[in-house]
Homo-oligomer: A and B are copies of this chain.
């Protein structure tokens, strides 16, 4: 009997979780019965609860929500959106089309927010250790670049020059939240000093903070671990992915390739490359 217990228990323990507690007729998330949550918490509050285990205040949730709203889409130039639209014409389900896109939000396409949050947290640690802001930013950038390379995630945009219109609006909301005491404003300071320092390093040419730099400020202000910046971006971007996959399904098309069928990829015999 003890052994019986242990086989079943071994299995149950293998799949243990602190997120959901279920019995027939009962579902509770993080200790809250689902029927108490439905209609009483907002969707962003529910996301926060599920991922972190606690409930945010209304003001925290509002700032969090702004970051989720800001990242929903960047159009069919983005490989993930293009792939979702192509998938939608290949005879797979809407879920498969959505998965195709999210799957492509890797280190380069979806990881900038995470990398930028690492930068900010590194600088924050230096501040806590007593460095001044300017010194912490300079040495934090050095540390980060030693690991990640020269180009700093969260700043500059190959398309939106000189300004990514999402960043100033998000930073404004962070400053308002700091003024209300919802957040400390520490990471807003860090983000803006990084931006200023990068401009100085470019000989005075200003560089924009982009969506990843701004949402990372928010996620750090709210205390999310860096890897969740990517996960939350995936949630946000899934909205645009769904919208585009659905629009494509209504546009029609079969096996939509990257360009109209009359255009052929260029064949380069290998010698041509030399």
Contact = CB atoms under 8 A, between A and B. Distances in A.
Interface of A: 1, 3-4, 6-27, 29, 31, 33-35, 37-39, 41-44, 46-47, 50-51, 53, 62, 65-66, 68-70, 72-80, 82-83, 85-87, 89-96, 98-100, 102-111, 158-166, 168-170, 172-173, 227-228, 230-232, 234-235, 238-240, 242-247, 249, 251, 254-270, 272-273
A33 B230 CA distance: 24
A171 to B, nearest CB: 11
Contacts of A161: 24-25
B66 A38 contact: yes
A227 to B, nearest CB: 6
Contacts of A7: 4, 7-8, 11
A257 B86 CA distance: 12
A257 B76 contact: yes
Contact of A50 (B46, B87, B239): B239
Nearest to A227: B94
A34 B166 contact: yes
Given A50-B242, A69-B38, A79-B255, A263 B106 contact: no
A75 B266 CA distance: 10
Contacts of A90: 79-80, 104-110
Nearest to A243: B50
Given A235-B242, A239-B46, A17 B66 contact: no
Q: 10 closest pairs, A vs B, by CB?
A: A91-B107, A91-B108, A92-B106, A99-B103, A91-B106, A79-B86, A90-B109, A258-B258, A7-B7, A15-B265
B18 A258 contact: no
Most buried by B among A29, A172, A243, A245: A243
Given A98-B231, A108-B255, A231-B246, A269 B91 contact: no
Contacts of A12: 263-266
B166 A35 contact: yes
